[in-house]
Amino acid sequence: MKELDKTYNPSEIEGRIYDKWMEKKYFHAEVNRDKKPFTIVMPPPNITGQLHMGHALDNTMQDILIRYKRMQGYEALWQPGTDHAAIATEVKVIQNLKTKGIEKKDLTRDQFLKYAWEWKDEYGGRIVRQLKKLGSSADWDRERFTMDEGCSEAVKEVFIRLYEKGYIYKGSRIINWCPVCKTSISDAEVEHVEQEGHFWHIKYPIVGEEGRFVEIATTRPETMLGDTAVAVNPDDERYKDIVGKMLLLPIVNKEIPVIADPYVDKEFGTGCVKITPAHDPNDFEVGKRHNLPEINVMNDDGTINANGGKYEGMDRYEARKAIVAELESMGLLVKVVPHVHAVGTHDRCKTTVEPLVKQQWFVKMDEMAKPAIAALKEGRLKFVPENYGKTYLHWLEGIRDWCISRQLWWGHRIPAYYCDECGEMVVSKDAPTCCPKCGCTHMTQDPDTLDTWFSSALWPFSTLGWPKKTPEYEYFYPTDVLVTGYDIIFFWVIRMVFSGIEQTGKEPFHTVLIHGLVRDSQGRKMSKSLGNGIDPLEVIDKYGADALRMTLMTGNAPGNDMRFYYERVEASRNFANKIWNASRFIMMNMEKASTDNVSLEDLTMADKWILTKCNSLIEEVTENLDRYEMGIALQKVYDFVWEEFCDWYIEMVKPRLWDDGNKSQAAAIWTLKTVLIESLKLLHPFIPFVTEEIFCNLQDEEESIMVSAWPVSKKEWNFAEEEEAVEMMKEAVRAIRTVRTSMNVPPSKKATVYVVSEDAKVREIFEHNKIFFATLGYANEVLIQSDKAGIAEDAVSAVTARATMYMPFAELVDVAKEIERLEKEEKKLEGELKRSNSMLSNERFISKAPAEKIAEEKAKLEKYEATMKQVQERLAALKK
């Protein structure tokens, strides 16, 4: 057995321990038919990423599960990897090139991609290194990247399959467009930000009815250049007579129809809605139902195009001002109403997104959504907490076709080729040598790349070698649990489920464990703009990874947001110190006696009590972890270690440790070591570093706690009678301590304790445990009897259900000193009472002072009077 350092220093041990784990390949999983597999796929962080608190929480939860299952004997694979993050990375590369004086527009695609791969090689591993500092025990030997050869092969395979099945098509639909990045973006990349705007109320003249108008309200007047109708609700009595009539679209001076559609909410605004199918997703659907033309009035850079007439070339916001001014001059602007609304912005460049109709690649979702819905409804997939299943179903049941093409250079290129001569399109994994229609040998690949979510949707199986039937794929797939935040259920979780079922015939995992966001101490979302972000790496450097991990899991409940407090980090570090110091104390005493021949018969009541408590803890923590209640599991181990083991049991056995040669000494040492080892194992998934360091110094039988067996409860450790007896004695100790505290008696002041009980069994229990009871109850002597015979009348009592403890008053308190103290207190109170009564009897004070000041003074007077009464009663009793 080695010795632990005097103080716990996480910065000294954590790197060393992690290197050892990596060297020993403890994280590595192999196909092993003799063991049951357990698989988690890591949500791949972006290669642009820097570890933030969301990553820290997400990966801590995964690490807890994988370490737990590994110790339970599963072949546990935590499959790691990173995501190419198409837009985020392209933005970073462009910014990086600008610092070198290079513009993207001056590069060919191949030149740009060369820079992008260089950037990935330099920065792509940064977040992986940071995850290692957190203690993540992922199988780094199997690390994947969404654009590596195997994952790219899977992407092409799925694209071809879906295209040949008719699920992938190219067509014009409404998409989110970023005018700065000049690409379509997914819903996941659109942040809805509260912005101050306006409702512009505009009159559209009714053709042929001089002086008659309909009034519409819009937040985007510039899009009226592309209006093709005005819609009203078919049940709106106000407008039934104008349905089918024509309106004159102001400025554009063309006629557009009034249509009836249930999409319109007759209670909102004027009940008349301008319909611009090329610039609004809801209008697009209305336009399809009524065969309306789609008129796009915007260029890719957010300027007005030729369809905008005289406004062509103007920026969208510049055009808005000009259009509003013209409407006002025409007398058609009714009013402008301030309006705060959620505006879609691109999460990368913060530009306001434009909904535009564009020719893009789409995935038809109707058929693929059905088995994903059935998976949840039929119980093959579950969410923790369950209520997130409703979110999942709501989105799937209203799903639209998915736009999968992006106008970027970084990413998976769409495997479609066009003939330079006749325009024939060929979808193929490899570039065709000639056009199948005209025989031309010049074929050009589609310039677009695939949405990043298209490749990450395949992550649970592409990382295991699919489409090849690799041993890893056949053994580790389907995976078991996906751990992720509630903010990407729609965009990633759902896509993995329908992709997994479509391509493999199986759900990619059986459980989705949802966690919330990590917020600041005020409950605000961490953001750069607020300046309230907390760098987990700084926390690790100062307090250690264990302290950060424990803080993130303390009080954590699935699906709920949590607040981050530095006070909690310090409490977590204090807990690590507590275990460290308790372990040092135990190890310093282990050489005193051999524990080789200790049997359960040698154990005392206290030993049996702590074993019983430990047994219950093992069962409860295992059950909590199986139910993904990690916060509850951690709290139970914390309470047991700090209170039951350190504050009670170690204090109980100290007198036995100092009694050399006594058989009870060996039993105490055996119990201390045994319970400490079980506690360390239960704590290991949560705080892996400190538990490993102690474990490896405490025993020599196993080389690492990581590969030791998870504790299992033992029937022979259930001592119900002894547990009940010690709990009764603990109750007696607590009662004594409460009385002493109320009398301000310091722990150093010992007193005789009489234990009185008519129950012979109770007296016997106290008799057998006099030694530790005396230590914990601050007694210099413990006398056990059936009645109060011989106990002084002024003895102070502490009452429990089965016994009453008496302590002679004179032994607790120095009467002369206490009288002196109380007389000083009485004199002080007399002064305060005089002052307070004087103020409250002063008419000038009562008439001029604020009501709250008078009430405050009255409350003080009541408090002084009550305290004076107590002091005088106490003095009278002492002077007797």
Annotated binding site for ATP: which residue ranges? 528
Is residue 232 helix, strand or coil?
A: strand
The amino acid present at 104, given as its one-letter code, is K
Element (H, E) at 202: strand 190-205
CB neighbours of 468 closer than 8 A, spacing ≥ 6?
none
Sorted by sequence, the CB contacts under 8 Å of residue 35 that are 6+ apart come out as 73, 74, 75
Distance separating alpha carbons of residues 345 and 304, to the nearest angstrom? 19
The contacts of residue 591 (CB under 8 Å, 6+ apart) are 1
| 588 backbone dihedrals φ, ψ, rounded to 5° | -65, -25
Q: How far apart are CA 47 and CA 81, in angstroms?
A: 10
Which residues are part of a known binding site?
528
Please answer whether residues 144 and 80 qualify as being in contact, where contact means their C-beta atoms are separated by less than 8 angstroms: yes
Residue 566: C-alpha distances to residues 50, 71, 552, 780, 880 (Å): 21, 31, 11, 42, 53
Q: List strand residue ranges (DSSP E) for 472-535, in order.
A: 481-485, 511-515, 518-519
Environment class of 680 (CB within 10 Å of its CB; exposed 0-12, middle 13-18, buried 19+): buried
Helix H segments across 459-535? 459-462, 471-476, 494-504
DSSP 3-state assignment of 334? strand
Whether the CB-CB separation of 420 and 442 falls below 8 Å is answered with: yes
Q: Which residues contact 454 (CB under 8 A, 6 or more apart)?
A: 155, 158, 159, 404, 412, 495
534 contacts 526 by C-beta, under 8 angstroms: yes
Measure the CA angle with vertex 862, ends 857 and 868; round to 5°.
125
Distances 705 to 70, 134, 411, 561, 618 between C-alpha atoms, Å: 11, 18, 42, 31, 16
- Kind of pairing, strands 449-450 and 405-406? antiparallel
- Residue 282, exposed/middle/buried by CB under 10 A (0-12, 13-18, 19+)? middle
Q: How many CB atoms lie within 10 A of CB 262?
A: 12
Q: Would you call 382 helix, strand, or coil by DSSP?
A: strand
Q: For residue 440, what are its two tokens?
A: 């031309």
Strands 481-485 and 449-450: unpaired
Q: Give SS3 for 688.
A: helix
